[in-house]
Amino acid sequence: MRTTLGRSLLLCLFAMAATVAAADAPRKQAPLYGVNDIPKTFDDAVPGGQDFVKRVAMIPMRDGVKLYTVIMLPKGAHDAPILLTRTPYNADERAGNATSSSLLSALPLGDAVFAQAGYIRVYQDVRGKYGSEGDYVMMRPVRGPLNPTKVDHVTDAWDTIDWLVKHVPESNGRVAMIGSSYEGFTAAMALLDPHPALKASVPESPVIDAYMGDDWFHHGAFRNLMLGYVHMQTVQKGAGAVTPSDTYDKYEEYLRAGSTGDYVRSRGLDKLPFTARVMEHPAYDAFWQGQDLVRLLAAHPSSVPTLWEQGLFDQEDMWGANHAWLALKAAGHASNNWLVLGPWSHSQVNGTGFALGPLKWSGDTALEYNRDMVLPFLEHYLRDKPAAPLAHVSVYNTGDNRWDRFEDWPTACEHGCANALKPLYLGKDFGLSFAAPTEADAGDSYVSDPARPVPFLPRPVLDPFFAYGSTYAGYLPWSKWLVSDQRFVDGRTDVLVYETPVLTAPVRVQGIPVADVRAATTGTDGDVVVKLIDVYPSQVTHDPSMGGYELPIALDIFRGRYRESFEHPSAIPANQPQRYRFELPNVNHVFQPGHRIMVQIQSSLFPLYDRNPQTFVPNIFEAKPGDYRAATITVLRSGAQPSAVWLPVVER
């Protein structure tokens, strides 16, 4: 025991001596100055590693141009399907945060269900944008009269898919395309000549006919506020800025500028090729008809299973998915095309869908769409899983707050279905009734003054794209304006307001309402705006803020010069009754007992849409100050000249 204790004491003394010696030795200290604080290499490791691999490839197209492509693979993936998005919005950013530890946290929220299912996620910059080579053409047309080159989005998608199935050994050789807005446009374009490996497609809020009802025009009225987007997208290859302005309120800015052409020239936007082309084609001529994907898809229908998505309150691309689906159904391809109409603003399916403005839904409708509709749809066609339990048409019911499922759409329509549209007539004392008017020479008048146009939002109106910043939903008034309370204009003398009595029974509408307005004007041109509105009771016990709320269910604008032909505009005969008949957006709604139905009629939605001078000029973009004149509008509601909104009323 004494021997062991002695040895321990001796070892302790040696250790103490070594410590003292080390303390006395000169220390090697890192230099403070004179070196580069940025090392040549650094392993930016994630603690615990990552469960995915990011690859970047420059994929060659048939003309030699290479496109920047980001491939996000689950680590250890094999026989995995590929989900492809072709984008003008920076593939690196769209692919998410590459420094995350997991693919689920790296990819955008809308990709969550696909990351959990082990999909290979691919984002690609379209030619000419961000990391891709080549020239950028806004909404590049298909090869032909409008595109003399040998490439378009059809060939680029084909070449990309061909490369992916040959160079991504972790895949099972099956590809689907998905994307919203412009990305939905590229997904739809690929359907015109699909690669054999393209097994499914999901175009969401796609730009299909940019003249009739998507980004640039609605029924001939030009969407001013899209000019900031054009500037942002075409002024440079990478991320651009919206048009500089020294005016906070876009209403004031556009009003002071004069015509839209004057605004364009004062900001130098006429030097942007796409803007110049648009200004040269105010009518629905061959330039726009040749880019109408509704026509192209119907003429060249594919057999690729396609799920079309559109928001019921999409403030940017309200037209595309619905009309593409209808055209393909008419072409005999209903069996491989599905339609989803959700309670969303533009591209809201990429985020959360609990609410829109004051409207609160039964759950996260965006998650329900991605998890319960899109994923099973893709799993069936990309992995041979059992057929998805998906109705051919799924439409959210914004009155009963639930999903409704149909085998056809619309369920009430003008022709070809059991339920005919039912006219809701404008009546005396600003009433609405399903009974036809019997009065002679009855009508209501207002003065429409281009110097005081009706705003589409309460002022000040901000530039939606400037306010987005780094996130899409940045400017909330823009993303929710289609459900904004319309009381802010119903006291104006240039807005006609008609109402039903308080409803004692529900009125259910499913389909596409049709505005049918008979009117005369003292001018020779003019616009017609019709809004179908659900007026809440004066008091709503469970949600006091909704008391008296005027909720627009469907609204749109129509440019009067195109009442006979969108291709060949004509002056409106002054003081002679004319008929303006046009479709409103899709509805699936219930006007509940205790509510009222309202219709508002006006002549402008400014500055979203350009001002109509109310004097016919050949090119409305070139209207002069003297062309902008006040006009008296008389909306007729007689037995001989009835005005109505034809509603798709159905039984429960």
Query: 3-state SS of 417-453?
Result: CCEECEEEEECHHHEEECCCCCCCCCEEEEEECCCCC
Q: Specify the CATH number for 217-286; select among 1.10.10.10, 1.10.150.240, 3.40.1360.10, 1.10.3020.10.
A: 1.10.3020.10
For residue 474, what pLDDT is reported? Answer: 43
What is d(CA 514, CA 528) in angstroms, rounded to the nearest whole number?
13
Topology of the domain comprising 419-616+628-650: Jelly Rolls (2.60.120)
What is d(CA 650, CA 265) in angstroms, rounded to the nearest whole number?
50
For residue 35, what pLDDT is reported? Answer: 74
For residue 44, what pLDDT is reported? Answer: 63
CA-closest candidate to residue 560, choices 456, 635, 466: 635
For residue 45, what pLDDT is reported? Answer: 66
What is d(CA 9, CA 467) in angstroms, rounded to the nearest whole number?
75
Report which DSSP code applies to 358.
Answer: T
Topology of the domain comprising 53-209+291-406: Rossmann fold (3.40.50)
For residue 2, what pLDDT is reported? Answer: 46
CA-closest candidate to residue 464, choices 230, 276, 235, 264: 230
Between the CA atoms of 279, 280, 282 and 287, what dihedral angle is there, to the nearest 10 degrees? Answer: -120
Place of tokens 């627009």: 552
What is d(CA 111, CA 96) in angstroms, rounded to the nearest whole number?
10
Confidence of residue 16 (pLDDT cuts 50, 70, 90): low
pLDDT tens, position by position, 72-127: 999 999 999 999 999 999 999 999 888 899 999 999 999 999 999 999 999 999 99
Place of tokens 């900001």: 267
pTM assigned to the model: 0.92
pLDDT at 471 over 50: no
Q: Is-contact 638 532, C-beta < 8 A?
A: no
What is d(CA 134, CA 177) in angstroms, rounded to the nearest whole number?
22
Could you give the 3-state DSSP secondary structure of residue 355?
Answer: strand
Instruction: Give the start-to-end residue ranges of the domains of the chain.
Output: 53-209+291-406, 217-286, 419-616+628-650
**What distances in angstroms separate CA 208 from CA 298, 382, 418, one per listed residue?**
12, 26, 29
Count other C-beta atoms under 10 Å from residue 238's C-beta.
10
Matching fold, domains 53-209+291-406 and 419-616+628-650:
no
For residue 470, what pLDDT is reported? Answer: 38
For residue 167, what pLDDT is reported? Answer: 98
Place of tokens 């350009």: 610
**What distances in angstroms separate CA 348 from CA 72, 368, 473, 474, one per listed residue?**
23, 12, 8, 12
HSE-up of residue 339 (Cα within 13 Å, Cβ side): 29
**What distances in angstroms separate CA 265 from CA 55, 243, 429, 617, one per listed residue?**
44, 12, 46, 19
pLDDT tens, position by position, 413-422: 887 777 899 9
User: Which of 19-33, 228-242, 259-273, 412-426 is the most confident on average?
Assistant: 259-273
HSE-up of residue 155 (Cα within 13 Å, Cβ side): 18
Phi first, then psi, for residue 100 (nearest 5°) are: -70, 160
Q: Is-contact 557 319, C-beta < 8 A?
A: no
Confidence of residue 469 (pLDDT cuts 50, 70, 90): very low
pLDDT tens, position by position, 502-527: 999 999 999 999 999 999 999 999 99
pLDDT at 7 over 60: no
Report angle CA 503, 504, 509 to the nearest 5 degrees. Answer: 55
pLDDT tens, position by position, 131-160: 999 999 999 999 999 999 999 999 999 999
pLDDT at 20 over 70: no
For residue 135, what pLDDT is reported? Answer: 96
HSE-up of residue 261 (Cα within 13 Å, Cβ side): 16
Q: Is-contact 400 387, C-beta < 8 A?
A: no
Q: Is-contact 296 190, C-beta < 8 A?
A: no
Confidence of residue 13 (pLDDT cuts 50, 70, 90): very low
Q: Is-contact 398 312, C-beta < 8 A?
A: yes
Confidence of residue 161 (pLDDT cuts 50, 70, 90): very high
Confidence of residue 463 (pLDDT cuts 50, 70, 90): confident
CA-closest candidate to residue 495, choices 447, 555, 556: 447
For residue 505, what pLDDT is reported? Answer: 97
Report which DSSP code applies to 22.
Answer: H
Cα four-point dihedral sign 513, 518, 520, 524:
positive
State percent of the chain over pLDDT 90.
Answer: 85
Count other C-beta atoms under 10 Å from residue 307's C-beta.
26
